[in-house]
Amino acid sequence: MMIRLKPVQEQVVVLTGASSGIGLATARALADRGARLVLVSRNESALQEIARECSEKGARAIPVAADVASFEDMERVTAAAVETFGGFDTWINNAGVAIYGTVEEIPIEDHRRLFETNYFGVLNGCLVAAKHLRQRGGGKIINTGSVLSDRADILQGPYSASKHAVKGLTDALRMELEEDRAPISVTLIKPSAIDTPYMEHARSYLGSPGTKNPPPSYDPELVARAMVFACENDRRDIVIGFGGWAISAMGTIAPRLTDYVMEMGGRISQESDDPGRRERRDNLYEPREDGIERSSLPGGSRKTSLFLEAQLNPLSALPGMALGALAGAGLVAMQVLRPRSVQPRPRRTVRRPRSETPSSSTSNQSG
């Protein structure tokens, strides 16, 4: 089966979750390359502004306010792409929402809503994309998973479970398309912690005022670079950030030790006294403030990743990658071996946010 992918500047790309975080960074990167864009999100006003920004870069972009959890809305996105551009070449399933809290604390309706967006939203996109690309003669499907597709994290159980499900769906779809000799490439993008409004957009049941990324945190433009690369190249998986990959690898080699490390450090590394911008807080059922790539929380992000470069350009990155791997292994070892005092944590009574009725709108926070 021969899969031929066009250069990005010749492609029409559908991008969900385009109004914030990884999606916004990817929209800008694709516009810089001259792609024609169908931008999808719940936040119509933010989408319109982003479409105008892309047009100023010389790219043609249309906004389509839609809910990835609605199959009918995804069919409407396809219709808009066909009407405006004659179809699309790449579909990127990037929309996602997050919840912080223990599995027991989080209400079942919130578990369900997260899966409606993070899993069924990807499924809906895959179904309409595969149908269209079969008729078009081939193309690309890109799904945003996570390093948590391979290794669950404490206090992010529903999100971890949804990203495990996205990985299973992506792998199954890839095999079935290959068996059917459909010329459609399927790539799973797996970011580590990324410096986006993810933490501020998340619904939280933690006792702390805010949440934060466990270090190291990476710049969203690195994920956008991987997305653009995947539009043109038939790769199975691309991981952004050695730190997240190392934890996943350690979980495969020594699962119980990794459990212990994450139990000891997970709460400390994710709870924060800084709530960030309250205008962004909790987009589980309704969109909040969008049009931004990065978090407003203190701290920074890594602007480069030798580990990513080694995946995109293996030969040119080998020397630097070897040094980076040694340094990363040292950091992981320090985390594992660092002495900790363990105190029993009393069970807390958590005041739960009032659950709202799910709206017909799509998630715009990336994975």
pLDDT at position 277 is: 83
Pair 210, 275: CB distance under 8 Å: yes
Side by side, which strands form the sheet with 90-93? 61-65, 36-41, 12-16, 90-93, 139-144, 184-191, 237-240
Supply the DSSP symbol for 135: H
Mean pLDDT for 179-208 is 95
Distances 137 to 26, 80, 89, 108 between C-alpha atoms, Å: 25, 19, 9, 42
User: What is the tens place of the pLDDT at every residue in 72-100?
Assistant: 999 999 999 999 999 999 999 999 999 99
Of 361 and 85, more confident: 85
Query: Exposure of 158 by Cβ count < 10 A (0-12 exposed, 13-18 middle, 19+ buried)?
Result: buried
Residues acting as catalytic residues: 159
Q: For residue 148, give both structure tokens.
A: 């948590």
Distance from C-alpha of 159 to C-alpha of 163, rounded to nearest angstrom: 6
pLDDT digit string (tens) for 307-320?
999 999 987 645 44
* Interval 100-108 mean pLDDT: 97
Tokens of 210: 């805010």
Instruction: Give 126's pLDDT tier (boundaries 50, 70, 90).
Output: very high
Mean of the per-residue pLDDT values of the chain: 88
pLDDT value at residue 28:
98
Domains recognised in the chain with CATH numbers: 8-340+362-366 (3.40.50.720)
pLDDT of 49 reads 97
Whether the model pTM is above 0.75: yes
